[in-house]
Structure 1
Amino acid sequence: MVEGRYSNNPNDRGGATKYGITENVANAYYGYKVASLTKEQAKEIYYKEFYLKNKLDKVASDKVALSIFDWLVNSGVWAIKKAQLTLCNLGYKVDIDGIIGRDTLNSLNSVNVNDFLNEYHRIQKLFYEAIVYNNPSQKVFLQGWINRLNNKIKYIKEM
């Protein structure tokens, strides 16, 4: 689990979070404030609401599934849309709709894993830089996002 302590930075567009789970998600899932969330509850939400709900258990490569999952926790549906953009950039024909349907899943399961990850991580870095370009108040978070990405890349290489 990459995420940790409770945070409620007023500049964070995600609002209050704990273990990477937002207030809204914790409230919808358990009916109470995110500050009360336990690590076990966060793991359950991660698995059911992020991993299974987005069919990442059907992705053949654990490396690809993990990379998409990590970005989902950080940026929501953008992670799926950017995975679809990555596939398009690599010559696959998929809709960029934020849903892992049959075509996206088949493409994820046939793509060269290293090619996918290199392009996906390149796009993820650009995504974070674009957030800051469009909203300079978010610059305070940029280095943390880049560190998270670099840590993910390192972890995946060691898998």
Structure 2
Amino acid sequence: MNFDEAFDELQISEGGYSDHPDDTGGATMYGVTERVARARGYAGDMRALPLAFAKTVARGDYWDKYQCDQLGPVLGFQVFDAAYNGGPAAKWLQRAVGATEDGVIGAKTIGALRAADPVKVMARFNAYRQQYLAGLAVWPSFGKGWARRIAENLLLGAA
């Protein structure tokens, strides 16, 4: 899955505008929080945030930063979605492949991934993600949606 396909798939979960009172990220549009939008120079109303702006943020801050194009068809989207949604996605991947958990996906992490069974790594990665999310104080508000999102990602990765 390339970046454009992954971004389109991501928008199925992220959708449009949200401003849930329990969301510590505050107002979001296409999954971009107001804090991130402002830090990237966006000054407008969050409801009017352009999709192209969100796509630029997604590519630079998540897809490229986490080297998703190097992670293969099973794991690239999984890591992208998890990083975009929030949480230490690089460390989950590193733990899943038995690499040093330094939070930076580099040559050693990618090498360990290439030597592993990607479906097993995907299962472990999503288990670590689920454990993390279930431990958050906002789980009662968002847990059902997060669990559904992870289940859908597992099905996508196993296709």
Give the TM-score band, short-chain normalised. 0.7 to 0.9
Give per-residue Cα distances to partners, 1:14-55, cap 9 Å, x unaligned.
222111111122112233243321222212221122101222
The answer (yes or no) to whether the contact 1:12–1:138 under 8 Å persists in 2 is no
Verify: 1:79 aligned to 2:84, yes or no: no
Give per-residue Cα distances to partners, 1:90-110, cap 9 Å, x unaligned.
xxxx22121112211211222
The answer (yes or no) to whether the contact 1:64–1:113 under 8 Å persists in 2 is yes
Structure 2 letter corresponding to 1:123: Y
Q: Match of 2:53, SS?
A: helix
Tell me how large the CA RMSD over aligned residues is. 1.6
TM-score, normalised by the number of residues in structure 2: 0.84
Q: Match of 1:155, SS?
A: helix
CA distance in 2, matches of 1:43, 1:62: 20
Pairwise mapping of residues 2-151 of structure 1 onto structure 2 (< 5 A)? Answer: 2-33=13-44, 34-59=46-71, 61-76=72-87, 78-88=88-98, 94-131=99-136, 135=137, 137-151=138-152
CA distance in 2, matches of 1:84, 1:22: 26
> Which one is further off, 140-149 or 9-18?
9-18
**Number of aligned residues:** 147
Q: Match of 2:57, SS?
A: helix
**Structure 2 residues not aligned, in runs of 5+:** 1-10
**Structure 1 residues not aligned, in runs of 5+:** 89-93
Relative contact order (alpha carbons < 8 A, sep ≥ 6): 1 or 2 greater? Answer: 2
CA distance in 2, matches of 1:110, 1:47: 26
Q: Which runs of 4+ in 1 moved over 3 A?
A: none
The answer (yes or no) to whether the contact 1:80–1:98 under 8 Å persists in 2 is yes
